[in-house]
């Protein structure tokens, strides 16, 4: 197991009807993920509905997952926001809650310059003793981390990995060849090509439902068995399509986990709505 793990899952945050957190659902989800081959649990990331979690909820989730995992998987806490001070505070709270590492997203909405991106990430990395995985997802943040930015951040002793949801394989290979950063594929549609290009592992949403199969995919690529890897990938494609390409990944995944009996409810917090909710069924205040 690396300091982040290899078969990481971007966990959903189980909730009760009404939006409160579900402790039983969280415990059952962690047990399920550990039993199916996950060795890294990403808590409070995008799929965990991080923008709607309070500071207390975010820290509590980390504490509960750490306790439930009992050292059987790395716990990576999503702490990045568009506010550097808030991100630093969440990083320190995650460290106090027992997290093994931090996930820091490129600041969103504000659209900072690359100098601002670097200053933000360094401030968060300086705030704790934990290793940091950067999260590059320009489709959500509006700003991409450039190769030169990633190369500069790679010089920080605690910035050691990238969750890449950009989808630019040539850029990923270039940064891999020029830095010591470990790459993790953060876009399930491209898990196989990223692994084939040298990614250290996956941060998968689909892994909530099929961590055993993503583990098989990683193992096949590591073994150099690309025929088997393509077969596993082909088997996963319908699930990737269903969870990731229609609606929102968090809502679709919660619906799938509820259908499998792993979590009790598919509740999400607004502005997300449960999978399959027709527009006319959404309550409005006007």
Q: Annotated active-site positions, please?
A: 135, 163
For residue 272, give both structure tokens.
């997300």
DSSP E strands: which ranges in the chain? 7-10, 40-43, 74-78, 101-105, 132-136, 159-164, 182-185, 201-204
CB 273 within 8 A of CB 251: yes
For residue 196, give both structure tokens.
């084939």
Return the C-alpha torsion angle 117, 138, 65, 24, nearest 10: 140
SS3 of the chain: helix, strand, coil, percent, to 5: 50, 15, 40
Residue 50: DSSP 8-state: G
CB 222 within 8 A of CB 215: no
Helices (runs of H) and strands (runs of E) counted in the chain: 11, 8
């Amino acid at each position: 197991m690396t300091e982040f793990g290899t078969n990481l899952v971007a966990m959903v945050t189980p909730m009760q009807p009404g939006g409160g957190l579900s402790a039983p659902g969280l415990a059952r989800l962690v047990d399920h993920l550990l039993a199916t081959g996950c060795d890294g649990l990403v808590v409070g990331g995008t799929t965990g509905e991080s923008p709607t979690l309070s500071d207390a909820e975010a820290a509590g989730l980390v504490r509960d997952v750490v306790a439930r995992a009992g050292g059987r998987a790395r716990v990576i806490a999503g702490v990045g926001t568009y506010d550097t001070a808030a991100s630093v505070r969440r990083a320190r709270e995650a460290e106090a809650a027992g997290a093994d590492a931090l996930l820091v997203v490129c600041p969103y909405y504000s659209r900072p310059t690359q100098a601002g991106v670097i200053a933000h990430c360094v401030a968060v990395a300086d705030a704790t003793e934990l290793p940091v995985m950067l999260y590059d997802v320009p489709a959500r943040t509006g700003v991409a981390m450039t190769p030169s930015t990633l190369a500069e951040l790679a010089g920080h002793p605690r910035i050691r990995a990238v969750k890449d949801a950009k989808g630019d394989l040539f850029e990923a290979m270039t940064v891999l060849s020029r830095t010591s950063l470990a790459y993790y594929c953060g876009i399930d549609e491209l898990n196989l090509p990223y692994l084939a290009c040298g990614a250290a592992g996956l941060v998968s949403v689909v892994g909530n439902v099929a961590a055993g199969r993503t583990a098989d995919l990683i193992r096949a690529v590591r073994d150099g068995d690309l025929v088997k890897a393509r077969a596993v990938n082909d088997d996963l494609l319908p699930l990737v399509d269903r969870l990731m390409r229609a609606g929102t990944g968090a809502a679709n995944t919660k619906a799938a986990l509820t259908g499998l009996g792993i979590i009790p409810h598919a509740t999400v917090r607004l502005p997300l709505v449960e999978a399959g909710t027709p527009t006319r069924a959404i309550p409005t205040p006007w």
